[in-house]
Amino acid sequence: MTIEIYEATLKHDTGTTMLRVISLSGKQGAIQQITTVEGCPECAIVDIVEIFNDTRQQDMKAKTIEEAKELAKGKSLKKSTRTKQYILSTAIVQSIST
């Protein structure tokens, strides 16, 4: 069983929303989680892309802790204007609520 992370773009009546989905059952499981939680049809998902570990590691270009803090601060300021929501795996959410 592998944990896969997907980033999806949804189109709503009010605009677009980006979601990060953690799935244990692949791309189709991530799509099912989104449609269930958001209550939207599958056609509302404009794009869904798997985020690989290599991609996340390439974002970290700092060689020292100080550089990493500065880069992280800059990125957090850029991302504060975008809306991101995080959806946990349905199994994890169910285990937390019970």
- For position 33, what pLDDT does the model report? 93
pTM for this predicted structure: 0.54
- For position 12, what pLDDT does the model report? 82
Q: Give the CA-trace dihedral at 57, 60, 18, 53, to 10 degrees.
A: 10
Which has more pLDDT, 15 or 77?
15
Q: Is 8 exposed, middle or buried (0-12, 13-18, 19+ CB in 10 A)?
A: buried
Task: Give the model's confidence band at 61: pLDDT under 50 very low, under 70 low, under 90 confident, else very high.
Answer: low
Residues 84-93 have pLDDT tens digits of 444 444 445 5
Residues 25-59 have pLDDT tens digits of 899 999 999 999 988 899 999 999 998 765 454 45
pLDDT averaged over the chain?
A: 74
